[in-house]
Amino acid sequence: MKVSIATLLLCVTPCLSLVATETSNAASSFKDHSASIKEHRGNYFQGRPQQHQFPHRDHRKNVYIRSSSNETDDISAEFLAGIKKANHGGTLVLENGKQYVIGQKLDLTFLDDIHIQLDGQILFTDDIEYWQNNNFFHPFQNSITFWQWGGNDIVIQGKGEINGNGQAWYDGFARGEILDPNNQYLRPALFTAVNATGLSIQGITMRNSPCWANFLITSKDIYYDDVLIEAQSINKNLPKNSDCWDTYNVDGLTVTNSRVNIGDDCFSAKPNTTNIFLQNLWCNGTHGVSMGSIGQYPGVMDIIENVYIENITMLNAQNGARLKTWAGPNIGYGRINNVTYKDFYVDNVDYPLILTQCYSTNKTECAKHPSEVNFSNITFLSFSGMSSGKRGRLTAEVICSPNAVCENIFMEDIDIHSPAGEPAVVTCDGVTGDIGIDCVAANSTQARDALATTIDSGSL
């Protein structure tokens, strides 16, 4: 019997119950609080998958190309020819048990109604010198890619994989940092879509990307379902910046029933991403399901809006649910609005729930030059599980900027515990209004006491 990822995730997500109040005066305050919950529940963003009508054809011609005879047998020219032949209504078939080596950059932005039946393996060469001199460049964080896909109605499906051959890149970038302004060691994303409308990726594996696994740019109506994304090293040089999904100027993205085992963001919406639907994700060893970072570039307005995230299992992670914006002397501005996290389970997670407007900035610099990105209508519903204890008894942290609006931040049924002991503590600074649960200031005695119980988590 085949068991879906959705079923597995539902099995591991524990049921939650409301905790009774303990003081004699609690009845009246709980009544008032219940009223606020009811009022808020009517307003929180309840997203749904985007809809796109892909063309239906009773028959599609199948196109086959030769496979590679070894890992240096580059069939880039044959792959491009096959794509062109299958375009406008056909299917390029990449057969099970066969390997297709790509060693040249490919511009695939001309596509129209094409299917890729990927049951074999696409493998990129690890010729670092070639790829650093021959790639497609995007100025956002100096991003490069092996190839770029674009056009209309593109379907990639099957049980095969796209493999970035990342080990040589992990070794070469062992001491590098992607946000270092002097970094010249650029690493390609594994899959990039540019100006695509209607892109569906289903069933495949994406393995060992040199950098981000998916970079989606200026695109609309994108779907991922039942995909596995992994990045693993065979030595001490771990993958870096191996985000699974990064978006830039994207409207309409649905990711469902997928598994992630990497060392950076399980999901990371970047500037100007709207209408996101995430459901049934299993993330191990990641930096969380993140909104942002945004506000990085001086004078530029960034937006993330209308996001619904449901049924997430987050294991052995640095963060769980995270929203992050830049601060500093030369930054941008904008907003993160209408975001809902619902049914979120954590285990061994350093920061299970964190909203921060000091991303990539130390406390002193952040205090001098706070973020200018507004946060509004952010909802966290039904969180459960166990932190790592790296933050002691702190399990949720909301730190807002004095330079920006931070309002309608709401939490309900937050039942996260810590191996460092009880009670769990939530901190909140700079938020306008009641967040729905008890919280204390980050510099309070309760917060300092909670941090004093910090234990070595051994997580990322």
Count of residues making up the chain: 460
What's the mean pLDDT in 152-176? Answer: 97
Active-site residue numbers? 264, 287
pLDDT, residue 177, reads 86
Is 94 in contact with 100 (CB distance < 8 Å)?
yes
Task: Report the C-alpha gap between 437 and 33 in whole angstroms.
Answer: 9
Could you tell me which CATH class the domain 265-459 is placed in? Answer: mainly beta
What's the mean pLDDT in 207-215? Answer: 98
Tokens matching residue 441: 């200031």
How far is C-alpha 293 from the geometric centre of its chain's CA atoms?
11
How does residue 255 score in pLDDT terms, banded at 50, 70 and 90?
very high
Average of per-residue pLDDT values in the chain: 90
pTM above 0.75, yes or no: yes
HEC-encoded secondary structure of 184-241:
CCCCEECEEEEEEEEEEEECCEEECCCCCCEEEEEEEEEEEECCEEECCCCCCCCCCC
Task: Report the C-alpha gap between 291 and 15 in whole angstroms.
Answer: 26
Task: Report the C-alpha gap between 366 and 360 in whole angstroms.
Answer: 9
For 7-43, the pLDDT digits (tens) are 333 333 333 232 233 333 333 333 344 455 556 666 7
For 366-410, the pLDDT digits (tens) are 888 889 999 999 999 999 999 999 999 999 999 998 888 899 999
How far is C-alpha 101 from the geometric centre of its chain's CA atoms?
28
pLDDT, residue 209, reads 98
How does residue 417 score in pLDDT terms, banded at 50, 70 and 90?
very high
Give the percent of the chain with pLDDT over 90. Answer: 82
Looking at 68-124, which runs of residues are DSSP E strands? Answer: 91-94, 99-102, 106-118, 121-124
What's the mean pLDDT in 446-450? Answer: 97
Task: Report the C-alpha gap between 365 and 327 in whole angstroms.
Answer: 8
Task: Report the C-alpha gap between 387 and 346 in whole angstroms.
Answer: 7
